[in-house]
Amino acid sequence: GRKWTDIGALTEELKDQQVLIRGRAQTIRAVGKNIAFLVVRKKGFTVQCVLTVQNDVVSRQMVKFATGLSRESHVDIEGIVSVPDTPIKGASQQVEVQVRKIYCVSKAVPNLPINIEDAARSEIEIEKALQAGEQLVRVNQDTRLNYRVLDIRTAANQGIFRIQCQVENIFRQFLLSEGFVGIHTPKLIAGSSEGGSAVFKLDYKGQAACLAQSPQLHKQIAICGDFDRVFEIGPVFRAEDSYTHRHLCEFTGLDVEMEIEEHYFEVMDVVDRLFVAMFDSLNENFKKELEAIGKQYPFEPLKYLRKTLRLTFEEGVKMLQDAGVNVDPLGDLNTEAERKLGQLVLEKYGTEFYILHRYPLAVRPFYTMPCYDDQTYSNSFDVFIRGEEIISGAQRVHVPELLTARAEACGIDVKTISTYIDSFRYGAPPHGGFGVGLERVVMLFCALNNIRKTSLFPRDPLRLAP
């Protein structure tokens, strides 16, 4: 068989050698009728390929064929590696390929709905180009999502989804190393698991059902079934009515549930260790990806402490009030207040990652354990990155009578969760856990402005395709 060389492996060491490469024709430029330049891209690497008319090797026909190729077509190229005198702009590799043969493996349509080079530019680059009088089409978010197959070819997007994979990977590796077991819970369930109306209803062979709003109930049942520490990575469905930068109708939940010995702080300890390990790993091992993302969407690296800061909700409220923000001490913080608190925390403690705990019971789901010392508050927490929520967690009520009473008080039809409540009648250990929104972690770690950027094929109230 023929031996292929990766574009990323094309270096000066291969000078004068014949190579065979495959990639996309990213740009195509003709210089007169005798010369053509193709920048060929694969796996984020690019190399300039040159066709020069030469007796018996490259015909005018070939040059014409090459310049007639459409951008993004897949090509195979056979050629000789050469080292140019001057540095090459617009390609990652500092060698050229002098083309001897070129085949088109798969043609792209001539008029692409998105020009990848334009889609890959940062706002600053776009502004500069426009000022310089360049013809350029700004690619808006909807167009990007409509033609996601092209959009995700940009270096920033390739980076984003590699980072996402690593977040998931660290989550799994870390929890396995701490004795957690990975589980899968059903996504077709009888009713709402979080309370509220944001559920997708469906007909389950004649029975009313819905898509799971979270693995909450089943991950707790698993704990009652003596899996003392569990995690799940799976889809979460929310029929959100809100069209915001941070809500999706389907997202990936990273869930944890664990027995606790004495205190919900044990759950926060897991969050602390897990996320410090995750951020460290991203910063150390994913520099190239972070750089590619930052080139298009400039951002400052996340500031976080070795030991994650913990503030009580009361302390947070006080900080906001001292700063002149009007907040209800027993209500939930709105988006604006959360952001403001993020700023205040950064100024005072120098971190953009922190835990806010001991929330008012009234703003938490029915399964949340009230504080032993003061039932106005609960053994619960949220975790924030750059002033936005990425995690909710809590100790859970494991006493069936109290659980029933709490569900009823929260307006939940207890019949729809009777098997869940019954699980606590056969002896249940104290336990707690948390849920992380994967897309939010990636969005906020990289300070991106929209969650749709971190979902490969986002689902929001208006989007069901691609």
Q: Is 392 a catalytic residue?
A: yes
**DSSP H or E run through 390:** strand 388-395
Least separation, in Å, of the C-beta of 436 and ligand AMO? 6
Contact 297, 119 (CB under 8 A): no
Report the amino acid identity of residue 90.
G
- Among the listed residues 22, 100, 172, 247, the single catalytic one is 247
> Would residue 389 show up in a list of annotated catalytic residues for this protein?
yes
**Residue 240 is among the residues annotated as catalytic for this protein:** yes
Decide which of ligand ATP, ligand AMO, none touches 393; Cβ closer than 5 to 8 Å per partner kind: ligand AMO
> Which token pair is 62?
């070939």
Per CB under 6 A, 11 contacts ligand ATP? no
> What is the contact surface with ligand AMO in residues (CB under 6 A)?
194, 214, 216, 238, 240, 247-248, 251, 253, 255, 389-394, 433-437, 439-440, 451
In this structure, are residues 214 and 193 in contact, taking their beta carbons and an 8 Å threshold? yes
388, β-bridge pairs: 385
The two beta strands, 207-211 and 201-204, are: antiparallel
Catalytic-residue membership of 246: yes
| Residue 449 binds to ligand ATP (criterion: CB under 6 A) | no
Query: In this structure, are residues 256 and 270 in contact, taking their beta carbons and an 8 Å threshold?
Result: yes
423 is known as an active-site residue: no
Task: Tell me the residue ranges of DSSP E strands in 18-155.
Answer: 18-31, 35-42, 45-52, 74-82, 96-106
332 lines the binding site for ligand ATP (CB under 6 A): yes
Catalytic option among 193, 380, 392, 423 = 392
In order, the DSSP letters of 294-349 are: HHHS--PPPP--SS-EEEEHHHHHHHHHHTT----TTSPPPHHHHHHHHHHHHHHH
Residue 89 burial class via C-beta count within 10 angstroms: exposed 0-12, middle 13-18, buried 19 and up: exposed
Residue placing its CB nearer to ligand ATP in the complex, 228 or 389: 389
From the candidates 144, 153, 246, 452, which is the catalytic residue?
246
Residue of this chain nearest to ligand AMO (CB atom): 437
| DSSP per position, 405-448 | HHHHHTT--GGGGHHHHHGGGG----EEEEEEEHHHHHHHHTT-
Inter-residue contact 34 to 59 (CB < 8 Å): no
Residue among 288, 287, 274, 304 nearest 167 (CA): 274
Complex with ligand AMO: residue 84 or 429, whichever CB lies closer? 429
| C-alpha–C-alpha distance, residues 277 and 257, integer Å | 19
Q: Does 242 bind ligand ATP (CB under 6 A)?
A: yes
Q: How far is the CB of 8 from ligand ATP (least distance, A)?
A: 39
Asked whether position 125 contacts ligand ATP by CB under 6 A, the answer is no
To the nearest whole angstrom, how small is the minimum distance from the Cβ of residue 246 to ligand AMO?
6
Shortest distance in whole angstroms from residue 154 CB to ligand AMO: 23
Alpha helices in 114-234 (DSSP H): 116-119, 123-131, 141-146, 148-151, 155-177, 216-224
Query: Residue 251 binds which entry of ligand AMO, ligand ATP, none, with Cβ cut-offs from 5 to 8 Å by kind?
Result: ligand AMO
The residue within the footprint of ligand ATP, chosen from 368, 392, 395, 454 (CB under 6 A), is 392
Q: Does 450 interact with ligand ATP (rule: CB under 6 A)?
A: no
Residue 270 binds which of ligand AMO, ligand ATP, none (CB < 5-8 A, kind-dependent)? none
User: Is residue 239 a contact residue for ligand ATP (CB under 6 A)?
Assistant: no
User: Exactly one of 125, 168, 388, 389 is catalytic; which is it?
Assistant: 389
CB 215 → ligand ATP: shortest distance, Å?
14
Among residues 353 and 434, whose Cβ is nearest to ligand AMO? 434
Give the residue with the Cβ less far from ligand ATP, 192 or 392.
Answer: 392
C-alpha–C-alpha distance, residues 422 and 165, integer Å:
37
- Least distance (Å) from ligand ATP to the CB of residue 250? 14
**Annotation marks residue 2 as catalytic:** no
- Give the C-alpha separation, 456 to 23, whole Å: 22
Q: Does 238 qualify as catalytic in the annotation? A: yes
Q: Which of 153, 229, 238, 358 is catalytic?
A: 238
Known catalytic residues are: 238, 240, 246-247, 389, 392, 440
